Amino acid sequence: MAFAPTSTYFDLGDGSIMGSFTEKDYGKHFEFSANPELTLAPPAHGGRNMEFPHLVWVTTPVEGIDCGYRKAKVGKTVVHIITNEDEYGRAVVEKWDIKNFKKYVENA
């Protein structure tokens, strides 16, 4: 389980938190938020560049320790996620099947 930092929450942060999902193969739960930067890379199956508008939080924040994220495009059943760079500096993109997709909405 990896939760986004409180700096993304609606009540404590900037409200950029967007939702959560569970990765199908390993059953790991992740939260995701908006990516403040424009990030382009080809999808996992190849082809033309697409935008990666989300940050998938891969470690739970610990006070005083920087937490990690991966840039991604999160859909309702699939996530294209940048997991690494190759020796030429190009993005390595994986496709994850997901379940239990939840979109967060701010309570007014």
Give domain limits for the chain.
Answer: 6-103
4 or 98, which is more confident? 98
Label residue 98 by pLDDT band (50, 70, 90): very high
Residues 31 and 12 sit within 8 Å (Cβ to Cβ): no
* pLDDT the model gives residue 62: 63
CB 104 within 8 A of CB 20: yes
Task: Write out pLDDT tens, residues 13-46.
Answer: 999 999 999 999 999 999 999 999 998 988 887 7
Is residue 102's pLDDT more than 60? yes
Mode of pairing for the β-strands spanning 91-103 and 17-23 = antiparallel
Name the helix (H) or strand (E) containing 34.
strand 29-34
Q: Of 53, 52, 2, whose CA–CA distance to 31 is shortest?
A: 2
Chain segment 49-81, per-residue pLDDT in tens = 999 999 999 886 565 555 689 999 999 999 999
**Which of 99, 52, 104, 43 lies closest to 76 in space, CA to CA?**
99
How is residue 75 written in tokens?
Answer: 């859909």
Confidence band of 95 (pLDDT split at 50, 70, 90): very high
